Amino acid sequence: MSRLLLFLAAGALIMSACASEAGTVDAPRRVDVVMTDDLRFDPDSIAVREGETVRFTVSNPTALDHEFVIGDSDEQAHHAEEMMSGEGIMHDEEGAIGLAPGESKELVYTFAEAGELEIACHVDGHYEAGMRGAVTVEP
Ligand SMILES: [Cu+2]
């Protein structure tokens, strides 16, 4: 094989490896998240690429209501206020879903900007108890 062909073959391999890593709007990467009895998300740390679209498949096998809210610290604080005022309880919106006991739901989310985000549950003191995780959006 000529050098040029080797070079092209290596390039194609690298490109296909990248394509299978980062999810797109048309082909989101699937990430499974489980809510646990000790008020945790499993996994509680997720790395994504800037611009990547992820299909979170979230399941709640516990006996409690939980939320899965994606956002930066301002958005998390805003959502926590809504929950305390009784407005935001367990309704689905962009970047947020509520799950009753035994429920599983999907949330498709595109991480537009690099930075640090959180996943969190703001049901009655769950966030304070540690029901939160880190999403690192790599540039
Ligand atoms: Cu919770």
Q: Is residue 18 part of a domain?
A: no
Query: Would residue 84 count as lying in a domain?
Result: yes
The CA-CA-CA angle for residues 38, 73, 113, to 5°, reads 115
**Distance in Å, CA 19 to ligand 1 centroid:** 34
107 part of a folded domain = yes
The rounded Å distance from CA 28 to ligand 1 centre is 25
Q: How far is the CA of 53 from the centre of ligand 1 (A)?
A: 24
Looking at residue 92, its pLDDT comes to 73
| Gap from CA of 1 to ligand 1 centroid (Å) | 58
Average pLDDT, the chain: 87
CATH code of residue 32: 2.60.40.420
Q: Within 13 Å, how many C-alpha atoms sit on residue 63's CB side?
A: 0
Which of residues 84 and 29 earns the better pLDDT score? 29
Q: Is residue 13 in some structural domain? A: no
Tell me how far the alpha carbon of residue 116 lies from the centroid of ligand 1, in angstroms: 21
Query: Is 4 part of any domain?
Result: no
What is the residue range of 96's domain?
23-138
Domain count, the chain: 1
The answer to whether the beta carbons of residues 40 and 93 sit under 8 Å apart is no
The CA distance from 7 to 12, in Å, is 9
Q: Please check whether residue 2 lies inside any domain of the structure.
A: no
Look up residue 38 and give its DSSP letter.
T
The pLDDT tens digits of the residues spanning 33-60 come to: 999 999 999 999 999 999 999 999 999 9
